[in-house]
Structure 1
């Protein structure tokens, strides 16, 4: 999946980073990357990537103008991490659902504090790794023991994200997850998604019925679908194209709230649905994963130029 250079980054201790620095945004701590070739902003809460742009490019991610940076509050936009379950707990398979002790959607990782593991830098790229030890501290909402390690690799060619889950418990661990990527567009009705033609999908807006995609995906109002494929996809907007290449995924979630839901969403402008879409690399619905003791699974995506 990697599109990075062949030259390995060098691990550098805090305080001696050349391109990465700490900053406080609102009430949250973030790592800001100011590299000659690209820029990025990564929050420790949620391991949440809020901004990425190669030099002389606008932001490759969509971030709500009403996003709030507060402890325990999910950031609207960028790439939230949905883990160790995706979506409504009641809509998850029984093996996943039996571990969830709350009605809250999308897991706890997106609002939990992650631990910074490493920063590696060189002239071509910056790599940042964070971890989340899901243990008894989360027992009120989830029953399990797992380690999540996420690594971001930024370069002029794009952004690579790899989320590795390791089962630290003694019994099989079933989980679902998604890299909930928000992408920008100047006009959602002149935007299309390529690569899902002939794929089966669940239309969650139509009683979770199974349907088949014919040709590109177009957006004409609210859209919420779980596609049964993890193929490489291309988002085409009036300003250009982006390619998303996934690994460890056999499901893709495509979402846009449309005008009515946008008006009800928190931290979301009423007209925001016109300038964004979500294409989520996932293990969702029947694509949930099960790990035996000590086993690991990596879900990843590379967002690059077309």
Structure 2
């Protein structure tokens, strides 16, 4: 059945989808999209996107060959959702630290089971929406009340992820977050990241001091930086270019464990640091956000080919 390109995807009831189906991967439930133009996999645990590729192309995301699909265990690779805090709670601003009751990095969203909301399909696009209500179920980890809604939009052009946070409490709510996107490369030594030149960054490996970036970013070992920029980025690899366009973000995290830390990471091959780079759309460090009662904030990224 033909359909106008401008017509929005149509929501249909489960079991009547044309391109989307439920699948169990390991011990986790996932939604798999088999569209004539593209494929994608989204897990309910963590609202975790592990695969996206246009037809006849390899995965645009890096996924560890040692990744485990188990309840309560974060998936190594793809796009983990860091929420409602990013990184080490102790390194977050005071307004976030006072609400964080767990020492675990990156919040609880990436291991929580999200609620299925909707699948919308058309001849050219598939959208999947999931939600997570942070309420008394998470009271031992976080002193807050908020709703996270994530929508994945897949098309032959690329993948768009939009994460919307709504403050459901009566008090102002401070939070930090990131879409921890793992991108593949055939050789990290011949890979560069464009778009962050002339921006300031915090180097977490150098006592959290500030530095200035000049020109492209090259990776020759461990890197863990929070850039004060939300500008469009291009990752250039020996086999192609990937472009990331962010919204609602004025910070970007660039991370690679390097050879030594790679040996200490779970579900991560020792040499895998040579085949990936994390370029994370974020609200981190000074770019954390505060919402008043009932307010919402959307942070997102479009991943496409340059």
TM-score range, shorter chain: over 0.9
CA offset digits 1:179-208 (Å, max 9, x no partner): 000000000000000000000000111111
Partner of 1:223: 223
Partner of 2:289: 289
Q: Does 1:272 align with 2:272?
A: yes
Partner of 1:101: 101
1:57 deviation in Å?
Answer: 1.0
Q: Does 1:180 align with 2:180?
A: yes
Q: Does 1:17 align with 2:2?
A: no
* Superposed structure 1 runs of 4+ greater than 6 Å apart: none
Q: Secondary structure at the match of 1:273?
A: helix
**Aligned equivalents of 1:12, 1:220: Cα separation in 2:** 48
Give 5+ residue unaligned stretches, structure 2: none
CA offset digits 1:13-59 (Å, max 9, x no partner): 00000000000000000000000000001000000000000012110
1:103 deviation in Å?
Answer: 0.6
**Aligned equivalents of 2:203, 2:114: Cα separation in 1:** 33
Superposition CA RMSD, Å: 0.8
Partner of 1:54: 54
What's the TM-score, normalizing by structure 1?
A: 0.98
Give 5+ residue unaligned stretches, structure 1: none
Q: Secondary structure at the match of 2:90?
A: helix
**Aligned equivalents of 1:105, 1:7: Cα separation in 2:** 41
1:7 deviation in Å?
Answer: 2.2
Partner of 1:124: 124
**Aligned equivalents of 2:24, 2:128: Cα separation in 1:** 18
**Aligned equivalents of 2:176, 2:135: Cα separation in 1:** 17
Partner of 2:213: 213
1:305 deviation in Å?
Answer: 1.2
1:6 deviation in Å?
Answer: 2.4
Q: Does 1:77 align with 2:86?
A: no
Q: Secondary structure at the match of 1:297?
A: strand
Q: Does 1:194 align with 2:205?
A: no
Partner of 2:236: 236
**Aligned equivalents of 1:277, 1:23: Cα separation in 2:** 28
**Aligned equivalents of 1:253, 1:6: Cα separation in 2:** 34
What's the TM-score, normalizing by structure 2?
A: 0.98
Partner of 1:113: 113
Q: Does 1:66 align with 2:69?
A: no
